């Protein structure tokens, strides 16, 4: 299951993480957010990339929502060494999400090979 974190743990769990962290910004009223969560969990379990997946309720984390300029939900942001390096907004289909996640996985595994 995906770890749900609050603003108070964001620095510890995301910005100070030693591995890349994919943050799923969501809200309880967002149907697409709930729809993609199983796909994200499956991606995390099957991915060859060393990746941590967390979710943040954008409605109860307004400071983070403003800091990362969330314009729509769901928004996925990849953080590496505390910096946002990848952003995905406007998910229109499961196939598109799968494609984007496969591309992300490839990028992460290639980057890990150079470390």
Marked catalytic residue, from 33, 54, 70, 104: 33
Q: Is 82 a catalytic residue?
A: no
Eight-class DSSP state of 15: I
Residue 109 has which token pair?
């595994």
Q: Is 30 a catalytic residue?
A: yes
Q: Do the strands 21-26 and 52-57 form a parallel or antiparallel pair, or are they unpaired?
A: parallel
The angle subtended at Cα 55 by Cα 34 and Cα 32, nearest 5°, is 20
Marked catalytic residue, from 17, 27, 30, 39: 30
Residues designated as active site: 30, 33
């Amino acid at each position: 299951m995906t770890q749900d974190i609050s603003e108070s743990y964001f620095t510890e769990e995301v910005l100070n993480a030693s591995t890349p962290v994919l943050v799923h910004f969501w809200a309880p009223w967002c149907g697409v957010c709930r729809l993609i969560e199983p796909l994200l969990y499956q991606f995390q379990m099957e991915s060859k990339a060393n990746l941590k997946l967390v979710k943040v309720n954008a409605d109860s984390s307004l400071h983070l929502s403003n800091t990362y300029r969330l314009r729509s939900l769901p928004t996925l942001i990849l953080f590496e060494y505390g910096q946002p390096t990848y952003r995905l907004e406007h998910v229109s289909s499961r196939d598109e999400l799968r494609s984007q996640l496969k591309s992300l996985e490839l990028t992460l595994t290639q980057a890990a090979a150079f470390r």
